[in-house]
Amino acid sequence: MSVRPFTWIFGLCLWCATTSAQDPIFSQFYAAPLQLNPAFAGSSHAPRVGMAYRNQWTGFNNAYRTYAAFYEQTIERLNTGIGFNIEGDDAGNGILRTLRASALFSYRLQLTEHLAIKIGAEAGVHQTALDWDKLIFPDQLDPLQGPVITTSELRPDLTNKSLIDLSAGFLAISQRFWLGLGLKHLNTPDQGLLLINDNLARGLPIRYTISGGMELPLGRSNKGGMSSFMSPNLLFASQGPYRQVNVGAYLAVGPLFGGAWFRHTLSNVDAAIFLVGFRQDMFKLGFSYDMTLSQLASRAGGTYEVTLGLFFDRGRKRPLNWNDCGKMFR
């Protein structure tokens, strides 16, 4: 009985919250750059496939789960990059599901030997689905028998909605720094499933993402392989009433990498993020843990992410005009 009331309250809150929802953002944003900014399409000079899984607040029963898979590559002779991204989000143990599938394009303009800008665009489909049968309402809770089958609540006519979703982005990248701006949901697609005050729910707010960082070389491995470096970086995201800032650093030493970040919502401390991982040949594997520091810590527990990248660049030389600091994303 202790979990069931939470289930319907949580489900209804999520359902109503679709009028001002917040996109999930991976703590390992560098391992899923297409989620961050379409200008990152083609950030690796050879084709790559990436996958990511996030389980947020493990103290609850599958409260939020986010997963993504993407493909990207650059087309060197055209100075362009292309990508395909699929992202899903399950909230409330599958009560509310969101699926996004999109194609991305970027164009790279080399301004000087050490400075380039990229402009990106993204178009796709945004689908929201509500599993009405998983909701439990107050009139279904019997003090003796627990949840019962019948309810007086009426099933809405619409429990599934698919819409076109458009995004854009900008990225400046040099030998030592990078700075990007991502604009998600430019057409503010209406993903709401409820009528509020006889009007359709508001559209999904535009998400503004500013990200930037530096790359500080620490030398090369003894075998002349992968270089060692440190990358202090910052991520700021704003969507509707929600804000977040991630500040920290990524460290790579040969095939091993790690890092630590601090996330703040501007109104309260949120989490400390810790990363470990390794890269060997074409494989790159990362594991991160978000230690919740807010008042939810005692109940919500932490958050973990697992990311996997497959880089098809063995035996390929890096293009001469790619003199940039994008190793963190590769």
- 128 pLDDT more than 70: yes
CA torsion 297-205-235-104 (nearest 10°) is: 120
- Tens of pLDDT, residues 170-226: 999 998 899 999 999 999 987 766 555 444 456 789 999 999 999 999 876 545 456
- Tens of pLDDT, residues 78-124: 999 999 999 998 887 778 888 999 999 999 999 988 899 999 999 99
Higher-scoring residue by pLDDT: 322, 105 = 105
> For the whole model, what pTM was predicted?
0.84
Task: Characterize the bridge pairing of strands 115-130 and 96-112.
Answer: antiparallel
Chain mean pLDDT for the chain = 83
Q: Give the separation between CA 38 and CA 82, rounded to whole angstroms.
A: 9
**Domains within the chain, CATH numbers bracketed:** 4-329 (2.40.160.40)
Confidence bin at 12 (pLDDT 50/70/90): very low
Share of the chain above pLDDT 90, in %: 50
CA torsion 314-317-319-324 (nearest 10°) is: 70
- Cite the beta strand spans of the chain per DSSP E: 48-56, 64-75, 80-91, 96-112, 115-130, 141-142, 146-147, 160-174, 177-184, 195-196, 199-200, 207-214, 216-220, 227-239, 242-253, 256-264, 269-280, 283-292, 303-311
